Amino acid sequence: MGAKAVLAPPQPPPAPTAPPPPRPRRRRSLVHARDGRWAVVFLGPQMVGLVAFVLGPMVFALYLSLTEWGGSGPITFVGLDNFRDMFRDHAFWSSMQNTVWLTVLVVPGQLVSGLLVALALHQTRLKTLFRVIYFMPVVTSSVAVSTIWIWLLNGTFGPVNGILREWFGLNPPDWMGEPRYLVISIALVTVWQGLGFFMVVFLAGLQGIPTAYLEAAEVDGASSFRRFWHVTLPLLSPTLFFLTVMSLIGAFQIFDTVYMMTPQNSYLGDSTRTVVFRIYDLAFARYQFGASAANAVVLFVVLLVLTAGQMLLQRRWVHYEE
């Protein structure tokens, strides 16, 4: 608060002719006089990054999507051909379907598991211990995580099936050896790895809920389920909304686990080749940059529509406290 003293306006040099202008105004202009020039200095580096690595590439990608190009030689402008071919291509629709199915598995998985663990953590004294353990996979490289799980889920030698067989007497499927189970495995690994992040964000949301509301509900005799459903959940809805958007955008762009867990050139990829994988494959394995860019543009549009949809829907179910 010593700052207040320093803030005392500087005594303007005695100006015999004109009376000094009103003080606040003068201070403003003094402080902000060279802001325009300073803005160039302060924003410079990030503006270079914005133009060179985001806006420029975006425009370039839009242009590429209208061309046919193998990475060298002349670029041929083909109009909307890439998009026409793409929408007629079975591989595109299959990649879309795979992406949607993976998303359908991952998003509820992440939200429900994160919320359940957060609710449990909120009630335990061993919070620090459990928080560390659940968070460990989040800081681990997804490439290493996939490598571990490829073997954990191995149908014959993997310990997961070993346990399911020996302890539970089940007859588990070959998780890594059949297309429809492989995509479930990828979803499982994604949820396992992301759980810690969803947990801590939910926990932060839970800790922000004023206990007064819950106590009031308890005094009124509400059961713990009703307290959760009618008090906790609505007050948690901004967090839930944020995480839903994050999870949805993230699930649509899962790459590392798909790349690592799908054997190359195998029929197993029929269920796991997602849009993102196809974008990578077209550009960097087949050098069809135009077609790859067209797929990326479609991904961008789908993500925009999904997020806009979420924003519109949030009015129906997200409660922001006044």
Partner 1 sequence: MAATRPRAGRVTRSVAVNTLLAVGALVMLVPFVWMVLSSLKGFSEVFAYPPKWLPHPAQWGNYVEAWQAVPFGRAYFNSVYLALVIVAMQLLTCAMAAYAFARLRFRGNNVLFLLFLATMMVPGQLTIIPVFLIMSKIGLYDSHWSIILPHGLFSAFGVFLLRQFIRGIPVELEDAALIDGAGRWRVFWSIVMPLLRAPLAALGVFTFVSQWNNFYGPLILLSSPEKFTVPVLIAQFKGEYITNLPLLMAAASLAVVPVLIIFVVAQRHIINGMTLTGAGK
Name the residue nearer to partner 1 (CB basis): 91 or 204: 204
Tell which positions 173-192 bind partner 1, by CB under 8 A: 192
Judge whether 296 and 75 are in contact, CB under 8 Å: no
Residue from 20, 23, 58, 216 in contact with partner 1 (CB under 8 A): 58
- One residue of 107, 115, 258, 279 binding partner 1 per CB under 8 A: 279
Our CB check for partner 1 shows the closer of 44 and 210 to be: 44
Strands (E), 139-251: none
Tokens of 138: 């989040």
Rounded distance between C-alpha atoms, residue 295 and residue 83, angstroms:
8
Among 12, 20, 23, 42, interactor with partner 1 by CB under 8 A: 42
Name the minimum Å distance from CB 153 to partner 1.
10
Which residue of 138, 164, 222, 233 would you call a contact of partner 1, by CB under 8 A?
A: 138
If you write DSSP's letter for every residue of 38-71 in order, what string do you get? HHHHHHHHHHHHHIIIIIHHHHHHHHHTTEE--S
Binding to partner 1 by residue 49, rule CB under 8 A?
yes
Query: Would you count residue 312 as binding partner 1 (CB under 8 A)?
Result: no
Residue that the structure tokens 């955008």 belong to? 249
46 binds partner 1 (CB under 8 A): yes
**Residues forming beta bridges with residue 67, ordered by sequence position:** 77
Q: Residue 52 or 313: which CB sits closer to partner 1?
A: 52
Name the residue among 129, 271, 131 with its Cα closest to residue 187. 271
Q: What is the largest CA-CA distance in the chain?
A: 99
Site string for partner 1, 62-91 (x = CB under 8 A): --x------x--------------------
- Tell me which residues in 209-238 interact with partner 1 (CB under 8 A): none
SS3 at position 76: strand
Asked if residue 170 binds partner 1 (CB under 8 A), the reply is no
E strands, the chain, in order: 67-68, 76-77
**Nearest distance in Å: CB 293, partner 1:** 6
The Cα–Cα gap between 86 and 271 comes to: 18
User: What's the CA gap between 304 and 104, in Å, rounded?
Assistant: 18
Joined tokens for residue 304: 């925009």
Tell which one of 181, 283, 314, 318 touches partner 1 (CB under 8 A).
283
- Distance between CA 50 and CA 281 in Å, rounded? 26
Q: Does 136 bind partner 1 (CB under 8 A)?
A: yes
Residues 247-276, mask of contacts with partner 1 (x by CB under 8 A):
------x-xx--xx---------------x
